[in-house]
Amino acid sequence: MQTVTGVEEERRIQRALRATMRGVTLVEVLIVVAIMSLIATTVVVAVIPKFTKAQEDTALNSAREIRNAVVSPSSSPTRRSTRLPRSTTPGAQHSKSTVPRRKSP
């Protein structure tokens, strides 16, 4: 059998358990949702301009690459020289001292 102090201790423990097992109120839930909405709005407002700037930068870089490819096609490493020899007459011989010219960069 429990003593008086044991019964009081048990009641105190039960009250503590009831207090911790009690749920959250609707007002508490609404406050948390409002705070999360404010944080999400702040993040979106900060990220959207950076996303737009990144798209603009990507478009500019693509345009620069296209311009560079069109303006200087000779700088392409896969392009081969299509120069004709100096003499195109059949049977003409080239001297051995002829050295092909280097392309300037």
The tens digit of pLDDT for each residue in 7-17 reads: 888 888 888 87
The pLDDT of residue 95: 53
Query: At which residue do the structure tokens 């301009």 appear?
Result: 49
Whole-number Å distance between alpha carbons of 19 and 86: 100
Instruction: Show the tokens assigned to 95.
Output: 């001297």
Backbone torsions φ then ψ of 82, nearest 5 degrees: -115, 25
Other CB atoms within a 10 A radius of the CB of residue 48 amount to 10
pLDDT in tens, 42-68: 999 999 889 889 999 999 999 999 998
Work out the angle at residue 66's Cα, subtended by the Cα atoms of residues 61 and 72, and round it to the nearest 5 degrees: 120
**pTM, full prediction:** 0.39
Q: Which amino acid is at 29?
A: V
- At residue 94's C-alpha, the angle toward residues 93 and 95, to 5°, is 120
